[in-house]
Amino acid sequence: MATAHIESQLEDIAPVVLMPGDPLRAKYIAENFLEDVKQVNSVRNMFAYTGNYKGKRVTVFASGMGIPSVGIYSYELYNFYHVESIIRIGTCGSFHKDVKLLDVILSQNAYCKTYFPKLLDGGEDGFISSSEELNQKLIEVARRNHIPLKTGNTITSDVFDLYCDSKEEFRKNYPEQDFLSVEMEAFGLFYIAKKLGKKAACLMTVVDSLYDQRSLTSEERETSLKEMITIALDAAIE
Ligand code: HPA
């Protein structure tokens, strides 16, 4: 079996998938957190691995950047590989004053202005929610591991906001509500999950912040990343 973008066999993919944007992050997770690992995709270098975490099978599959890319991989994994849950583990920016660099954020809702739903199935953009069931697991695991987790709304943008002419003009495109994070994939993942009757969640580490301009050490980055990965893996096997 193979799809247009995935060469894996059906049995190579676990029902729960962790989805970083970066293929090399998928490799890092496989090498540092999983046992008995098998590489299950390398088409377009969108690396994917399946292995055991605490004795349970988990797949880590990269999504690439942006809604079109995450839309393709999540659709194919849910629809052709019978995946039930995808937990995105990404990075994000923030222009919320209570959010600091390297905070770990759980996206309860993603808001996006995009033509993606209209083109896919005549649907609407705007707000979409993630899986309440997955979110409860992620929140519980974070609490048990004493890892602080901020939960809230996410802006999913079709452009990298740091390259917009004006941050003020960018912000005016979105509702007045509080948004903890801005990134480029969550809405696409949540939309595909909802369409196919599957579950999706999104954890993010803050790497750009309007209110926190510290420069980070690689050790600080690694610690925050490891916390996010641990939350996702422990929730994935529950
Ligand atoms: N904006 C959008 N996506 C991102 C950012 C950001 O500032 N940082 C990491 N991914």
Burial group, residue 126, by CB count within 10 angstroms (0-12, 13-18, 19+): middle
162 touches ligand 1 (CB under 6 Å):
yes
183 touches ligand 1 (CB under 6 Å):
yes
Query: Could you tell me if residue 1 is inside a domain?
Result: no
Using CA atoms of 187, 188, 190, 194 in order, give the dihedral in degrees to the nearest 10. Answer: 130
Domain that holds residue 79: 10-236
| Cα 52 to Cα 92, 210, 220, distances in angstroms | 28, 39, 27
What is the 98 CA–ligand 1 centroid distance (Å)? 17
Query: Could you tell me if residue 116 is inside a domain?
Result: yes
Q: Which of 74-78, 82-86, 112-116, 223-227 has the lowest mean pLDDT?
A: 223-227
Query: Could you tell me if residue 44 is inside a domain?
Result: yes
> Considering only CA atoms, which residue is closest to atom 9 of ligand 1?
92
What is the 55 CA–ligand 1 centroid distance (Å)? 34
12 touches ligand 1 (CB under 6 Å):
no
Query: Could you tell me if residue 2 is inside a domain?
Result: no
20 touches ligand 1 (CB under 6 Å):
no
Query: Mean pLDDT throughout 41-60?
Result: 98
Query: Mean pLDDT throughout 57-85?
Result: 98
Query: Could you tell me if residue 3 is inside a domain?
Result: no
> Considering only CA atoms, which residue is closest to atom 10 of ligand 1?
92
> Can you tell me which atom of ligand 1 is nearest the CA of 157?
2
Query: Mean pLDDT throughout 147-171?
Result: 96
Into how many domains does the chain fold?
1
- What's the confidence (pLDDT) of residue 234? 98
Looking at every residue in the chain, the average pLDDT score rounds to: 97
What is the 27 CA–ligand 1 centroid distance (Å)? 21
Query: Could you tell me if residue 190 is inside a domain?
Result: yes
Asked whether 229 and 129 are in contact (CB, 8 A), the reply is no
The model carries a pTM of 0.97
| Cα 5 to Cα 187, 193, 199, distances in angstroms | 21, 18, 21
To the nearest 10 degrees (0 to 180), the angle between helices 67-80 and 186-196 is 30
CATH of the domain at 22: 3.40.50.1580
What is the 215 CA–ligand 1 centroid distance (Å)? 16
Query: Could you tell me if residue 4 is inside a domain?
Result: no
Asked whether 134 and 85 are in contact (CB, 8 A), the reply is yes
- What's the confidence (pLDDT) of residue 64? 98
Q: What is the pLDDT of residues 165-223, one digit of tens each?
A: 998 899 999 999 999 999 999 999 999 999 999 999 999 999 999 999 899 898 998 99
**Residues recognised as catalytic:** 208
